[in-house]
Amino acid sequence: MNKRIITIAAIVLLLLAVVSTSVYATGVAFSPTKDSQTNIEATANSKPIFYRLSLEDEKQVKQIVLSDSRIQKLIKGREYVFNVNEHVIKGKEWGLDVGAVLKEDVTFPEIIEWLEQGRKDKTLIAEIVGELSVGHNDAYDLSIDVENARVQEIEYYPRHGTPIPELTHEEKESVVIIALDDHRLQELLQGKNYTVAPEGVVVWHNSKAQMKIGGGLEIWFDRPYEIEYDWPWPEFDEEKYPVPPNYGEQTYHRTYKVKALSILVDLEKQRVVGIINRPISKGTKDLYKP
């Protein structure tokens, strides 16, 4: 895979992180169907599979974790809120996932039955676990004792070799201000009901030096709009553009059915350099929150 593709993939993943839930870094979080036994067996040979709990149990376990004084210390000061043009932007620079590791002797049919019956049978569960991610670089594996309502073990591990840069709260606010002041974005938003994705702003950086370039955010519409436009989206190529920020500006004339927009802001240039349609997968809940 060439460096250009790697860079593009990294940035797209960062933008999607604005509205997506994280996958447990120490395992795989997914709900199998009757056709996915092969995937389960292949994955199980490498790392434990963490299965989501029922919504009720998940809420209880998260409350246990967030009540722990050690966890509270780790996430202290890692939330923010600001108002730009009457858009309230709230962000959390931490994420928490919890789930169950099932016993090794549980069969595939038993897993399917457990899932279909609401994940309530505790006899199949070997351990309740979790992952706390703080910022882009730090993560903690959690072992949770539900019966005694306590976090039994917290194990730290760095998520990346070279640390990914973090945006300051002031830089995040600047990203939103610059984006909403952009005349092209104003043109695209005119006459439409929309909201700035309240989950916050993500960092945009290159892949070689992990240098901070700017930030990304999303705009959500109340319904799909068919839009024909010359979409600005930078060409990322660290070989073609060896000097940071490693991109060249260009546009693509396309017609999209748009439900959400991804925006890229270059903080050094103090301007928007990317606006593109973000496709919404089938089954995704409505994002619009007026």
- Asked whether the predicted pLDDT for residue 29 surpasses 70, the reply is no
Backbone angle region of 86, left / alpha / beta, with phi > 0 → left and psi within -120 to 50 → alpha: left
Instruction: Give the Cα separation of 211 and 43 in Å (integer).
Output: 34
**Higher-scoring residue by pLDDT: 25, 148:** 148
Residue % of the chain over a pLDDT of 70: 83
- The pLDDT-based confidence of 3 (bands split at 50, 70, 90) is very low
Domain boundaries, the chain: 26-158, 169-277
* CA dihedral over 159, 54, 36, 285, signed as positive or negative: negative
* CA dihedral over 176, 182, 185, 186, signed as positive or negative: positive
- Asked whether the predicted pLDDT for residue 132 surpasses 80, the reply is yes
- Name the residue type at position 53: L
The residues, any chain, with a CB within 8 Å of residue 176's CB and separated by 6 or more, are 82, 84, 87, 89, 196, 201, 217
Tell me the per-residue pLDDT of 262-290, one tens digit each, with 9 for 90 and over: 999 999 999 999 999 999 888 778 888 77
Chain centroid to Cα 171, Å, comes to 19
Q: What is the mean pLDDT of residues 201-220?
A: 90
Instruction: For residue 108, give the nearest of 51, 61, 54 by alpha carbon.
Output: 51
Q: What is the mean pLDDT of residues 49-54?
A: 89
For the domain with range 26-158, which CATH number is right: 3.10.450, 2.60.40, 1.25.40, 1.10.10?
Answer: 3.10.450
